[in-house]
Homo-oligomer: A and B are copies of this chain.
Amino acid sequence: MRSNPAPARVLVVAGTHGNERNAPWLLDHWCRHPGALASCGLDLELVVGNPAAHAQNRRYLERDLNRCFDPALLADPSLAGPDLQRARELVARHGPEADVPCLVALDLHSTTSAMGNSLVIYGRRPTDLALAAGLQARLGLPIYLHEADTAQTGFLVERWPCGLVIEVGPVPQGVITAQICRQTQLAVEAALEVLAAAQARDLRLPPQLLVHRHLCSLDLPRRPDGTPAACLHPALQHRDWWPLQPGDPVFTGPGGEPIGFVPPPGLEDQPVWPVFVNEAAYGEKGIALSLTRRESWPVSPGWLQALTELASQLAQRGAPL
């Protein structure tokens, strides 16, 4: 049980990365015309994640905001910087212990990869799995389950009791397209439907959840001086969510010579599914693509129970708790 008994809201964050422009543009529209987003009666908190980066059309100013939510980082008084300060501010203003608390966070992103309309969840929290299962049942969205990756931590939604990323692409950084906006809105509205159904104790989940579980990431082949010696092979461009077999072309040198996929140790036996293929922002992180395994999990009754309990604490507009 929360120590704070105030009715809670759903946090909807757009522009956590300042050069992803579609969701912030939509959010601005929703703020001007509250009826434009079907909220199923839930009280929402609509927030631009990194307004300073958004104003400069840059992913972040000094530090990737969506890697700032590690508890140790947030609590370290020796660390400052505008992005980390913004992370602290978001938690203070809209976290589960805030005066107007939020219990669920929907973090809206776009990508240059052909992820389509997709979800990213972090770890295996029952509430997240229930929300993702409800969304997958409604829209069929693929799910990237990010876990066990010590190089990538501190994601925003991890600091809320329930939350996921809605990740839509392909779209260049800095570009707004009607299709990406439409997909984003569909996913947000479906998530709110799931939460409202859970609150009404009326949510039904499918028997199985299909996840793409993170295994590892691949960097481009690099020269001794660190510069890339190859780029992505054209046969793999825009092939997110498609299986990759040993020997399939993955990279290509500047002269066009293909470089085949050599599975990392332990991954030789089955195909893997690439995600975030050639995402512009991941070059600096040394990620040309990430590899996942496609798995079908039985949906546990405990997931539904956890989300139902959480959703019972959400405010319903016109019906105070």
Contact = CB atoms under 8 A, between A and B. Distances in A.
Contacts of A181: 231, 254
Contacts of A252: 178
Given A172-B172, A232-B178, A255-B36, A227 B28 contact: yes
A25 interface: yes
Interface string A246-270: 0000001011100000000000000
Number of copies of this chain that the complex holds: 2
Interface in A162-208: 170-179, 181-182
A26 B230 CA distance: 10
B112 A254 contact: no
A57 to B, nearest CB: 8
Interface stretch (A45-53, A71-79, A127-135, A278-286): A278-286
A110 to B, nearest CB: 10
Contact of A256 (B182, B228, B233): B182
Interface string A229-253: 0011110010000000000000010
What does DSSP make chain A's interface, helix, strand, loop or mixed? Answer: loop
Contacts of A255: 29, 36
Contacts of A26: 254
B25 A232 contact: no
Contact of A29 (B170, B177, B254, B280): B254
A53 to B, nearest CB: 13
A26 to B, nearest CB: 6
A237 B178 contact: yes
Nearest to A283: B174
Interface in A13-59: 25-26, 28-29, 33, 36, 57-58
Nearest to A179: B234
A171 B255 CA distance: 20
A237 to B, nearest CB: 6
B233 A178 contact: yes
7 contacts: A28-B227, A57-B283, A170-B172, A174-B281, A174-B283, A178-B232, A181-B231
